[in-house]
Amino acid sequence: MTSHAASGNDVHAASNPNTLVNFGFWVYLMSDVIIFSMLFTMFVTVSTHYNGGPSGRDLFELRDVFFETMALLFSSITFGMAMLSMHARRKSQVLLWLLITFVFGALFVGLEVHEFLGLVHEGAGPWTSAFLSAFFTLVGTHGTHVTFGLIWIAVMIGQVAVKGVTAPVASRLMRLALFWHFLDIVWIAVFSTVYLSGVM
């Protein structure tokens, strides 16, 4: 009886591969939550350890960070439009909104790289103090995730263009949407914890 039930479960899992994939994706996303939680904890712990170097008040320009934030938030909105178009099976609109999302995401990464290069040029690199080391690690890890998301978006643009809005493609877009919106939430926490607190 037990072996028959196990066999039935195996057949059910094999016939529903998305169940396993979704579980695996949620495990991955929760692992990212743990990683960012540790990075936030590290940053808060050493956020006043300047080693005689500059503080956030000396370095951060909220105007520039505001543009970064708006670029990422708008990319989340445009991704939402892409998902609405996906549910309506409008291939051309899905492609358009994904492309716009990619542009906003690339703008965010470009502004972040510009900020990092500017800080290093001013002599405020990650080796300067524990504060800056934690800053570059936290913000850089988020930026790396956004860069990975941009690669993912580019791949999905190709898949939608070639295959259309099929069920497997729609499933991948759903996972990408969760990942992208997650990065938005993390950035709001970064903006509040790192930049706003840093200039006060």
What are the structural domains, with CATH classification, of the chain? 17-199 (1.20.120.80)
**Do 61 and 195 contact (CB within 8 A), yes or no?**
no
The whole model's pTM is what? 0.87
pLDDT at residue 27 above 60? yes
pLDDT class of 174 with cuts at 50, 70, 90: very high
pLDDT for the residue 197: 86
Q: Write out pLDDT tens, residues 91-148.
A: 999 999 999 999 999 999 999 999 999 999 999 999 999 999 999 999 999 999 999 9
CA atoms within 13 A on the CB side of 69: 17
